[in-house]
Structure 1
Amino acid sequence: MERTRWVNVAILMCLFAICCGREINVKHKRHLADYNHTLATTLVEYASAVYMSDMTQLFTWTCPRCNDLTEGFEVIELIVDVQHCLQGFVGVAKDLNAIVIAFRGTQEHSIPNWIEDLHWKQLDLNYPGMPDAMVHHGFYFAYHNTTVRPGVVNAVKRAKELYGNLDIMVTGHSMGGAMAAFCGLDLTVNHETGNVQVVTFGQPRIGNAAFVSYYGELVPNTIRVTNGHDIVPHLPPYYPHFAQKTYHHFPREVWLYNIGFGSLVYTVEKVCDDSGEDPTCSRSVSGNSISEHLAYYGVKMGGESTCKVIMDPRLAAYSTEDFEGNVILSRDPFASIVKTTTEPNVPSDVI
């Protein structure tokens, strides 16, 4: 009798191990995003521009990265959370007929430490209103518990009042991509905003499989672009044998990688499956490159090795500052903005 009981226990343990060890396959009933190369190469320029530290150039859209495919963009609100080293903007791209929201990623000087920290990050926060869904507390906090979220939500509301019910495109690189994903979900769930599209670059994992399932249903029009051996999309680590507890990417991934030799090298843009963890895409290579994290589609990502920003004193009329030094610059796109071209004897303030 005792022997039979132990045999049954052993069988149950084996079944449990098999179930837990099987790699989870996240499927989605709704249609996933179709990859659009032109849109991705446009949004990557917004994800690059948001790194700029000269607020005057960024607010007036005259920065060195504020041209080419983003020319004519009208910034409505620029949010600078100095306390947490965060930055984002909201504006209208008439050529896309859309409101564009962009979030800055981690500054270059802190990337190695940030990557090392991500190797050990655990799922540590229950996402509100989603049973069993868990997320990365730091990424969640960066969007939800700073000046960024109210600034973005208010700017989107104002943009819709000015321009009507435009589509919304949210983008960001690295940690900015994580914030973009939380923003897209927030606008869809908590503010009942339709037509939300998210395109991120070099984004880390932000939640578990349960979170991914909810996210995929609610924000299906999402593309995660990964590049070669970029280390960040491999973080925090994915452990297929602990499928319910591990971090998991949401779909749809588009993996950029080079093939060929010498001068015959060209880039492949592979559209991956609907699992979020396609083993034939970026997971098929070792994620060991920081340099491939800092350039997407040939566009430089990242900025100066500081969280300080430069702002012309004449922009004071457009800015509000809280007691912690965080700044929001707002403007009416239909009103003229003060001319801010550099002139002699007009100093700039460093925040």
Structure 2
Amino acid sequence: MAQSDICPQQKNCTACTSQTDGFFTCRWCIATNACYPHVLINSACANVGDVVSTPFNCPVEPFSRAPYSDVTARNSLFLSAAAYSPTPAACLQQHMPTMVVYNQYDVLCDDRNNSCWAYTAVSTSDRRVVISFRGTRGFEQLALEIFHGAEGTFGKMVDFAAGGKVIDYFSYAFYAMWNSGLQRDLADLNQRYNDYQLWIVGHSLGGALASMTSALVVTKGLWNFATVHLMTFGQPRVGDISYAQIVEENVAYRYRVVHEHDIVPHIPPEIPDGVVDSPIHHRFEVWYDNDMSYGSPFILCFQPEDLHCSSAHLDLSVFDHLSYFGTSVGDYGRDNCTGPFDFGFPT
């Protein structure tokens, strides 16, 4: 077989992007559902967003038993906002009175005395255990995340216990939290409520910590794979492709909600085509290219790095990061969740 014929013989995205034409990796075109040699892909596939160059970025649909729900996401955002409150019990009492706080975790998560914060809670009526992580607080903490993330873009990451490598700032913050009692409490909660769903949520930095927690609780056998649910908002890239694969292999229900032009999901930058082992997202992004009011449409993205979704925009926004579903997430939590919240029910 001539080298030029190798790529067209590949009949699916994974086979295509795992094959070379003798010099370069073959490229898959989503629009034409066909495989092409590297040198021909630009002429064969008109939209650059339809070009797939690595097996991990091939489109995959969510598990049919774990569909995305807008209402569930809004409930998860409320739980995420409560992590910004110094008294999450007061927050939860406003709209989820059956959710009882089990413990709170307040740790130093870098050498500049910035803190990371989370709470665990249980609802026996909903048969649900919740872990919610607070997001980035203050410019200095954000600057540190960006600095360490930039190093991660060029491959400077550290090993993570569940597998793969993660950005060192997230690693330090995670283990400070994990070793402060979170691991112990999860083991205790599992003993009491092992048939309950475990919901792990977070906004911003909290989304990164939630992602890491979801992978570790399953790989360490702390919670049943089938009952773990991960829902994050404005989550940054956390780790390398091996880490992203670990999350996908162990957490079936996983959604990263992104509001319009939110800047944080694009931090740190990803270098495509595997030129270096830079951070990459895990699936599934849910992109709202609108104000996220009740009834707003959204796009469910099938690639971890999908140019049909939020990555299509370069005009990124801090404001879109701070506000989800019409709520200023941090401010709402700090105000103990007083005032209305859009849970997505018709009025």
Fold match by TM threshold 0.5: yes
Code of the residue aligned with 2:320 in structure 1: it is E
Deviations 1:281-338 (A, max 9, x none): 111112521111011112222259x9xxxxxxxxxxxxxxxxxxxxxxxxxxxxxxxx
* Aligned 8 A contact 1:205 1:234 in 2: yes
Tell me which of 250, 266, 271 is aligned to 2:300. Answer: 271
Which one scores higher on RCO, CA 8 angstroms, separation ≥ 6?
1
2-side partners of 1:280 and 1:29: how far apart?
15
Task: Using the TM superposition, give the Cα deviation of residue 177 of structure 1 relative to its aligned residue in structure 2, in angstroms.
Answer: 0.4
2-side partners of 1:297 and 1:50: how far apart?
17
Structure 1 portions without partners, runs of 5+: 1-10, 307-351
Mapped pair 1:103 → 2:133: yes
Mapped pair 1:231 → 2:260: no
* Aligned 8 A contact 1:204 1:234 in 2: yes
Code of the residue aligned with 1:80 in structure 2: it is D
Structure 1 residues 164 and 193: CA distance shift in structure 2, 3 A? closer
Task: Using the TM superposition, give the Cα deviation of residue 112 of structure 1 relative to its aligned residue in structure 2, in angstroms.
Answer: 5.4
Tell me which of 15, 24, 29 is aligned to 2:24. Answer: 15
Mapped pair 1:86 → 2:116: yes
Structure 2 portions without partners, runs of 5+: 1-19, 27-37, 40-50, 335-347
- Structure 2 SS opposite 1:258: coil
2-side partners of 1:139 and 1:202: how far apart?
15
Mapped pair 1:219 → 2:251: yes
Tell me which of 320, 327, 343 is aligned to 1:299. Answer: 327
1-side partners of 2:315 and 2:125: how far apart?
36
Q: What is the number of equivalent residue pairs in this alignment? A: 280
Q: Quote the sequence identity (%).
A: 23
- Structure 2 SS opposite 1:31: coil
1-side partners of 2:139 and 2:93: how far apart?
23
Mapped pair 1:143 → 2:174: yes
1-side partners of 2:308 and 2:62: how far apart?
23
Structure 1 residues 152 and 265: CA distance shift in structure 2, 3 A? closer
Aligned partner of 1:31 in structure 2 is: 63
2-side partners of 1:190 and 1:48: how far apart?
28
Task: Using the TM superposition, give the Cα deviation of residue 137 of structure 1 relative to its aligned residue in structure 2, in angstroms.
Answer: 1.4
* Aligned 8 A contact 1:87 1:148 in 2: no
Task: Using the TM superposition, give the Cα deviation of residue 256 of structure 1 relative to its aligned residue in structure 2, in angstroms.
Answer: 1.1
TM normalised by structure 2 equals 0.71
Code of the residue aligned with 2:252 in structure 1: it is P
Indicate the structure (1 or 2) with the bigger Cα radius of gyration: 1
- Structure 2 SS opposite 1:268: coil
- Structure 1 SS opposite 2:290: strand
Please identify, of 213-222 and 178-187, the stretch whose mean Cα deviation from structure 2 is larger: 213-222
Tell me which of 94, 101, 113 is aligned to 1:67. Answer: 94
1-side partners of 2:104 and 2:197: how far apart?
19
Which structure 1 residue ranges, 4+ long, deviate > 6 Å from structure 2? none
Equivalences for residues 1-351 of structure 1 within 5 A? 14-15=23-24, 23-26=53-56, 31=63, 33-53=66-86, 57-58=87-88, 61-63=89-91, 66-68=93-95, 70-82=96-108, 83-110=113-140, 113-114=143-144, 116-117=146-147, 120-122=150-152, 123=155, 124-128=157-161, 130=163, 133-144=164-175, 146-194=176-224, 195-242=227-274, 245-258=277-290, 267-273=296-302, 275-286=303-314, 288-302=316-330
* Aligned 8 A contact 1:226 1:255 in 2: yes
Structure 1 residues 165 and 110: CA distance shift in structure 2, 3 A? same
Structure 1 residues 114 and 297: CA distance shift in structure 2, 3 A? farther
Structure 1 residues 207 and 301: CA distance shift in structure 2, 3 A? same
* Aligned 8 A contact 1:81 1:148 in 2: no
Code of the residue aligned with 2:278 in structure 1: it is T
* Aligned 8 A contact 1:24 1:244 in 2: no
2-side partners of 1:254 and 1:16: how far apart?
29
Question: Over aligned residues, Cα RMSD in angstroms?
Answer: 3.3
